[in-house]
Structure 1
Amino acid sequence: MTKAPRKTAEEIKKQSRLCIKSKKPDMPIEKRTPLTLVSMKKAYISWGFKLDPDDNKQREYIKSQGKCMSKCKMLLADGAVTPMYNHIQSGNTRPANTSPEDIQARKKAGHAKASATHKARGLGQKNQYEEETFEALLDVTGLRDELEYHWAPDGANGDVALKSNDMAAGTYCASQLKASDTTDGGVFNFNLSKSDMETKYKGQLMIAIGFKRVEGKVSITQVFVLSDPKDMPGKTLTPRVDPKQDDAFADIRFRMDDEEQRKACMTRILEGLLKVPHHTLDDTWFSVDVNRNLAETTKTELLGFQFIKNTLPASTTMTMASDKNKTVDFKFHRGEVSLGISAKTASLRDKRADGCYSGFEFKTGKAPGHDKCNWVLVVYLDKSRKVVEGFSAIRGSTVYTKANKGKMFRWHRSGQKKGVDYMIEKHPASDLPRLVDLMFEKRGGKQTTL
């Protein structure tokens, strides 16, 4: 795997100080002094706990625990007990009087530390590798002439929908792609466990691709193919790159430096497609039975994607973005012209006294690759959040600006967005074909909305 740059000593110290400051409470007693009942009570009271005032009862309770005082708890006035003294003093448990600001600081420090560790271990998002490596795999194995494939929507469990010539017309299977850099003498880490295959990836073909870069281009080294949780030896898919002899992963490993192995890999993938369940393309992409453990926000997004796909004019096709977690969610194609579309689900805002809302919003986020977004297609759902009732289209260059980066994009039901001199028109859901026609017709103009 690609190694992250090592942090400097000063960066490490700064992160450590931030974590310690946000977690550990101020001590009301001098350091390195023996802990007594008096000092222990003083500490708990300063941390916001209401203790039972009976000292004799407290002594008996501490004695009954049979531990040193720092590992004991104390009785509260309501009959409950405090957290262990050491847990609060060390910062593992928050004091009762912790302010919201301190809680937020602690969370921020923890997230920063987890993020730094995640990146340092090379466990970050690698969807761009999965796209590159899969395309390379199709070429090196000869599968490009044997498979039809469609990239899945961002957020779906599967990465790509696959179809072979031996499958029934109109049916596809979901496939999960994994990619890992090759490190000499090291271990592949595909971030895949057997429990994942038994739950959220159940019924999917798993294709794990080991690769390296040669003069800037992806070169496939090894491929692992699993169509059932039983195919995985052990709890995780972490095979050694160069085992000294046949290991537990030998039956699912295919080396790409051997012609016979490449042919065997193609055969295993085609056979694997026939072993997993088949569905229509709509179900493979959007069904919650096929895509398990989806977040609620993802479910609403897929609802909008499905409506758009099935309501397009006959002259227009739609493909999902192959590089995930970027601004463009899908593309509209008409002839030789393609439009990059960012789909956003409008959320209600500005609740009034009568319980109604006066406006809408969506978050712009970091928006990587926003320069490829031609239009932002806003999806309005009904109160049940299960039916698409309308759309708005806004030029991507209007939404994704330096001023809006990472902020909420907001507008009012009247159509006027504060501080911006344009109107946002809401079109009924049935008007989507005409709206798509306008997107292509006015793609080069200066207008901001349709």
Structure 2
Amino acid sequence: MDKSISFTQLEEFEKDFHRDPAKRVAQLAVTANGVNQSAADPFTLRRDRFQFSVELKTGHITNQKASGRCWLFAAMNTMRMEVMKKLNLEDFELSQNYLLFYDKLEKSNYFLESILETLDEPTNGRLIAHLLTAPLNDGGQWDMLCNIVDKYGVVPKDAMPETACSSSTGEITSYMTRRLREFACTLREGYAQGRDIGQLRKMKEGMLCSIYNMLCIALGNPPKTFAFEIRDKDNKFIRDTGLTGRSFYEKYVGWELSDYVSLINATTKDKPFHRTFTVKLLGNVKEGRPVKYLNLPVEELKQAAVRQLEGGSPVWFGCDVGKSSTRKTGIMDLEALRPDQLFGVEFGMDKAQRLDYCDSLMTHAMVFQGVNLDENGAPDRWKVENSWGDELGEKGYFVMSDNWFTEYTYQVVIHKKYLTDSQRAELEQAPIELEPWDPMGSLA
């Protein structure tokens, strides 16, 4: 068979298209309405109802706007529940901008340190190319969130409100990324010219000062101390002054973050179940805890999530939100979209194959705030709190079918008390190191 496409082949392709009238019908629908709208199955709404047998009280729906901060929004949406419970509040929101500031600063340092650790690697090699691809991604992992909160704490939203750049991060991230790549060039060329590591680290200090200044201009200066003032459900006025991010966190959230661990479901052959994993050169706070996962069968992730919800606590999770989901109606179901029927094709890869062949990975973090258990106590759908505003889904909430969880949910964060004894023991294993470009190194 020829290597190139021949005109004879094109004629046969054209004849094949016109043999089936259904292709013409599909063409009319897609050219007028687009693929997803034409492929959407409205009947999934009958099955994926916004009713749940286990459902938590939540605050108002938040909105990350044009930023990739879903992991921070999801985490703050879980932590704010503690503040609301302790202070009898109707609603409350923590500052995502505050955490964004320090995450960007710490990621910059982590990137520059990674450059210093790889000075002998070739510039055109895969490792340096990977480091340079996105040194300042908006996204993150749960352990990275823990590192920021452990070091800087959290503050109420009014202590460091949103700015134009925190709500739309593309511009400032682009300029900071250019600056960091230039710094990487300077450090590597300085090393080639004979500068020692001490001299290079002295240069790094000035580089970080430049990044800090850019962050202050774009996001505002983070507060050193602040006053917390609010009214509770009974109209009682609460005032607490002289707080820092750390003291506010310890007083009003109070979680021991080391008790919260990441369970993943990665089904590829190189990742056996019941083993722990980490990812090389993935992090933000250099002295912080490394990313660590325990890989388990997906049913064990579901069971742990149900136990935590039944215990009254929400569940941070990571998934591939763009697959088989409808943004407007908020349905995450394997039959929510039927491009297979629309195009007359089969999408046949399983979860492991999708990971191996770059067809799926974790892209978004949200929060489980409820689950529906059937008459046998098994989950059949999950209530999802998103951070895309209240105009999508059911006033900002999405519903996930249990079969969608199986295929496209990759990570849940669970308090150790909701794990089995064997799972807690498995967590103590030394982690297997994954390469920096492994799909489980993706950032939500």
Q: TM-score, normalised by structure 1?
A: 0.24
Higher RCO, 1 vs 2 (CA within 8 Å, ≥6 residues apart)? 2
Q: TM-score, normalised by structure 2?
A: 0.25
Bigger strand fraction: 1
Bigger helix fraction: 2
